Chain A
Amino acid sequence: MASLKLEHIYKVYPNGHKAVSDFNMDIKDGEFIVFVGPSGCGKSTTLRMIAGLEEISAGELYIGDTLVNDMEPKERDIAMVFQNYALYPHMTVYENMAFGLTLRKMPRSEIHEKVMWAAEALGLKEYLDRKPKAMSGGQRQRVSLGRAILRNPKVMLLDEPLSNLDAKLRSQMRSVISKLHQSLATTFIYVTHDQVEAMTLGTRVCVMKLGKIQQVDTPQNLYNHPVNIFVAGFIGTPQMNFFNVTLKKGAKDVEFGWCDCEQPTLHAPNDLVLKTKQRYLNGDVKVVLGLRCEAISAEPEDVAKGDNLINVRVSHFEELGNETLIYGDLKEVGGLMSTSKTSVIIKATSKHGYKPGDVIKARVDMSKCHLFDSETEMTIIPAIPNEDVLPITIENGKMDLFGKENKPEALPCDLVQNGFISIPLSAISVGEGSVKGKVKSVEEVDGKHLALIEVGDKSLFAFVDENVKEKAAVTLSIDYSRVTIMDKEEKVIVSPLDEHDLLNSSFVNYKTAFEVTQNPDFEAEKQARLDKVYEEFGKIRADLDAEKAAAMEEANKAQIAANPNIAAKQAELDKMIADAKAELKELSATYKKDLAEAKQKHAGIKKEAIAAIEAQYKKMLEDETKDYKLAVSTNKDKEAIRARKLSYQLFKESLPAMRTNDISNKENALAFDSETEINGLKSRYAQNKFLLTSKIKEGKDNFNKENYPLKECEKLYAKKQAEFDAKEKDALLHAELMFFFKFDDIYQIIPNNITDKIIQGLGNKVFTKTFRVEVPHTAYVKADKGLEFTVTSLVNYGDVKYYKCVGRMYDKDQVIYIRKTEELSLGEKIRVLPDLSKCEIYETALNIRLY
């Protein structure tokens, strides 16, 4: 049992194709996660990367707290169920299930117990001696599940396990898997392209498309709050209806106008579009309205309510028994054969007497509607808005946003009339600053608290702490460096300051860096790292030596005590071994005899059965011949005789084929029985033999332990010493490895954890790549041997201020902004380095995020 963490996982093929890009996900212990998406969306690749069957191009994968990128599949403690079962055909069901444990050298008795437990749980007990080819698809998949669960893995991976089964078996197996998850309480990751499986099984579902995550959420939320058109269309059958509409926000409500057809307008309360950007609400911009089939009602009692009615021309019906799907079109003229932008599907309780071609009235439930941008296809009524858009006016150095105030100096605009300002939610800090507001409502979304705050006549969304309650008075501060200001035509006047400065660099090793710079600091750092390892391991070594001395003394005493009895004990052991060997011999003899007997018995049965069939056919032929001869001799009609002759010949000719067929059917049927019995004999023999041989081995081991404690103790400590030495060597090697970022001609040591991630992602290609380091404005530290910049100006955004600094890198001017924390004078030369732990690091060629 374990949690999983996937951080910036990429799969890039040698031809540059990104099968999975920037996959981020936290999976909690015991969750049932389903990856779903159309074929080629990267879901199986992701699963195979978790399993270790596919290399991770970049990013980090944690199972529990362990980084497993470079671990073999067997070390990851996972189990996998394959779409095509992947059972070993030459092994019986028992052996198939036991194989993994045998490879892990688990004692045979324990294996037996586990196999029996899994077989019991999955109803496979009576098939244990069969081979996979003698089983049905459902049974095979159960064996495959059994093989997976009996190892009690940390994570169960299932790769489309039900795709090869027919519909009925599929639903049965679905409940088997669901029950398994409940009883095992292990983390399950399940890949499927079937959204029904995804919705019924998953505690959370991850919808993917073209290698990217579209949405990760509970099935309920996916259904009710899809983030984009793809998710909305993928989840739910029949598919959601999509129409192009325009929205116009009025005083009382929002009016929906139809783009592709003539229909009465729809109306929804203004609350629906509270989080929607203004630009969608002016009545011109085309947006996509998504309506599930149950959000449109053709029931007479709903239609009678009279509001939000549309006219639907019926094309045909699908009757599903308890309900009826009405297919139709919103256009009242034109063909009905193909699906168009105005096609609609309605769920109804019955046909209500409608006929194809009728134009009927249907009512739209506006509380269940979804709205999407027609270009980006993203929802425009998100649970968490990205930004607040508010009206703004700027003139004469004054800004009218939350009442009149001084315009931050750095905003490069002097005159904006009736424009808009867009403030990212993350640029608003509640509890700081001077703007006063009142909390209107607070909701919890994805563990964050989102508040709607009223300031004067305006309201905006912001994140707040959990202890901020409704109606509380709060203060706000806005980071104006991150706002966008637009005029009334929504043309951008002021763009936000970039969140990061971009520095290009390459990756070099210690030798190069030291050779070039001769910087004694680097040498000292390396020595310090080595010293630390020496110190650490020196302490452990001393402990180990002391422990060994004490143990040896103890063992010596035990040896002296044991010495007088050795001869007697040896005799005892010899006798035990001799007995076991005799028993083994007898066992083998019985086995051989039983096997021969069984084989003979089955050969006999087979021979008998074949003889019986042959006799039966012989008799059939005789009867037919007799009958034929009789018919020929008694009949006078020539035509009848010819017909009889013909049928007789046909019978004679087809007889051998029928006989062979019957015989081979019988043989096959008998082969199952004999194989099962013989396999049973074999596995029982193997098990008993193993018990005896392990008894002998155990006896010897125990004898040595009891009678030669000194030797055993020496052996034990030699092993411990070797382990320790290997560990120390490893640590020293690791300490010696130091890597650097080269910014133009300046070298900076990369912290170990970041180095690990970069090398993880790129392997030995790391030295040939270039990197983009994105440095936040707060992440610069002064360093004597850092990059040189000249402070040129102070950029004042009111509450936050930045120093604009210019330097030369790679023969070009490099501008950086440093957030003001201490006083710097203009024209001053400073030397700084980025604090890499706060930066983001990208590989430039493939644009892969490494840190």
Chain B
Amino acid sequence: MAKHVRSARAVEKTRRVLVYVILSIISIIWVIPFLYLIFQSLSANANPGSFFPASGDWTLKNYGLLFSSTIAPFFRWWLNTFIIAAASAVLQTIFVLMTAYALSRLRFKGRQGIMKLILLLGMFPGFLGMVVIYMILRLFGLSGSVFSLIIVYVASSAMSYYIAKGFFDTIPKSLDEAVLIDGGNKNTVFWRVILPMSKPIIIYTVLVSFTGPWGDFMFASLLSQGASDMAQKTVAVGLKALLTTAPSAALPNPYGLFCAGAVFVSIPIMALFFWLQRYYVEGIAGGAVKG
């Protein structure tokens, strides 16, 4: 009997060791590019081939240049992107949640059809519409500014209603009915009962709709390609431009600058995630109905 127990424990132990080894390898592979970026950003001369900068090349200059260079106004790009992403995040979240609520709670003709259509449309990559979107924006005289991106991102936001709808579907309908009887209307239901209960899904939506515009390259490059003004760029487009810039007196190491910028770009996302994650885990739907 004792022997048997021991062998089962041994198997369990081996299994765990194996799992942790695999996980460790995967996480190292994940971290390597990031470490590479950091090291390159600390290098005075471009040396994409090696992992560490040469011994005499260690410098913080790239970070200084990020905020002082007039040829590559990184801070301006960063601010542009931040404004666009923040505005999109707020508007997108509102639209997504309202769409999800409508599709989850209201019964109207064509509801099923609309849901299927949205699913179908979502299967086509967004850039298929790029030309048309550009023309539409030009029609409205909005093609000159990167901030038109807000409209582009928000306009299609309702299409990602799916996860929020799934969440709303789990909130019992009798809560809605209780509000209606208590003297509220659909607005009361949405703003005063459903939303306060939906913190996790709100956080999720905010995060997703912030990171999308934050890292988008396709539409951003489309809208800033014509602009000769370096200030009319987002970080993704600006940094891409740095990669193709030849070293000069003002920009001795564009590659290092690119890497420094890339490191800096990840900061808001991380900050946002750490700020929001405490709400993320806070499940509050308990006790609404029999549980």
- A binding-site residues for B, Cβ under 8 Å: 51-53, 72-74, 78-80, 82-90, 99-100, 103-104, 131-135, 137, 140, 147, 164, 642-643, 646
Contact = CB atoms under 8 A, between A and B. Distances in A.
Nearest to B184: A103
A104 B183 contact: yes
B183 A103 contact: yes
Interface string B192-206: 010011000000000
B179 to A, nearest CB: 8
A34 to B, nearest CB: 20
Contact of A646 (B5, B184, B196, B284): B5
B114 interface: no
A89 B183 contact: no
Contacts, number: 89
Contact of B178 (A82, A131, A134): A82
Nearest to A104: B183
Contacts of A73: 177, 180-181
Contacts of A133: 286-287, 291
Contact of A137 (B174, B184, B290): B290
Nearest to B178: A86
Given A83-B174, A86-B288, 19 more contacts: A52-B180, A53-B181, A72-B185, A74-B183, A79-B181, A84-B290, A85-B288, A85-B289, A86-B172, A86-B178, A86-B289, A88-B288, A89-B285, A89-B288, A100-B182, A103-B182, A132-B288, A164-B290, A642-B2
B225 interface: no
A131 B172 CA distance: 17
B188 to A, nearest CB: 7
B182 A72 contact: no
Given A86-B174, A86-B289, A646-B5, A147 B284 contact: no
A74 B180 contact: yes
A678 to B, nearest CB: 15
29 contacts: A52-B180, A52-B181, A73-B180, A74-B181, A83-B174, A84-B172, A84-B174, A84-B290, A86-B172, A86-B174, A86-B175, A86-B177, A86-B289, A87-B289, A89-B286, A90-B193, A90-B196, A90-B197, A90-B284, A100-B183, A103-B182, A103-B184, A131-B287, A132-B288, A133-B286, A133-B287, A140-B290, A646-B5, A646-B6
Given A53-B177, A103-B188, A646-B5, A132 B287 contact: yes
B287 A134 contact: yes
B134 to A, nearest CB: 44
A53 B6 CA distance: 63
A155 to B, nearest CB: 11
B90 to A, nearest CB: 22
A51 B180 CA distance: 10
A306 to B, nearest CB: 56
A769 B56 CA distance: 91
7 smallest CB-CB distances across A and B, nearest first, come from: A133-B287, A100-B182, A132-B287, A84-B289, A133-B286, A89-B288, A86-B174
A503 to B, nearest CB: 34
Contacts of B6: 646
Contacts of A100: 181-183
Q: Interface size class for chain B? A: 20 to 34
B177 A80 contact: yes
A271 B274 CA distance: 86
Nearest to B195: A90
A140 B183 CA distance: 21
Interface string B267-287: 000000000000000001111
Given A84-B172, A84-B174, A642-B2, A78 B284 contact: no
A135 B5 CA distance: 43
Contacts of B177: 51, 53, 73, 80, 82, 86
Contacts of A147: 178, 182
A51 B178 CA distance: 10
A87 B287 contact: yes
A87 B290 CA distance: 10
Give the residue among B183, B188, B284, B291 with the most A Cβ atoms within 10 A.
B183
Contacts of A164: 290
B287 A140 contact: yes
A89 B287 contact: yes
B182 A99 contact: yes
Contacts of A646: 2, 5-6
A643 B291 CA distance: 44
Contacts of A51: 177, 181
Contacts of B193: 88, 90
B14 to A, nearest CB: 15
Nearest to B290: A164
A646 B193 CA distance: 54
Contact of A85 (B5, B184, B286, B290): B290
Contact of A80 (B181, B284, B286, B287): B181
Contact of A89 (B174, B179, B182, B284): B284
A88 B171 CA distance: 11
A189 to B, nearest CB: 13
A631 B7 CA distance: 24
Contacts of A83: 174
A210 B90 CA distance: 50
Q: Which among B175, B185, B188 has the greatest number of chain A C-beta atoms within 10 A?
A: B175
Interface in B140-191: 172, 174-175, 177-185, 188
Contacts of A79: 181
A229 to B, nearest CB: 35
Contacts of B2: 642-643, 646
A80 B179 CA distance: 10
Contacts of B290: 84-85, 137, 140, 164
A147 B183 CA distance: 12
Nearest to B109: A14
Contacts of B289: 82, 84-87
Contacts of A131: 287
Nearest to B199: A90
B75 to A, nearest CB: 36
A129 to B, nearest CB: 14
B200 to A, nearest CB: 13
A89 B6 CA distance: 48
Contact of B287 (A53, A135, A642): A135
B180 A53 contact: yes
A74 B290 CA distance: 25
Of A53, A78, A137, A147, chain B has the most CB atoms within 10 Å of the CB of A53
Nearest to A87: B288
B184 A74 contact: yes
A468 B178 CA distance: 53
B228 to A, nearest CB: 52
Contacts of A82: 174, 177-178, 289
A89 B197 contact: yes
A839 to B, nearest CB: 35
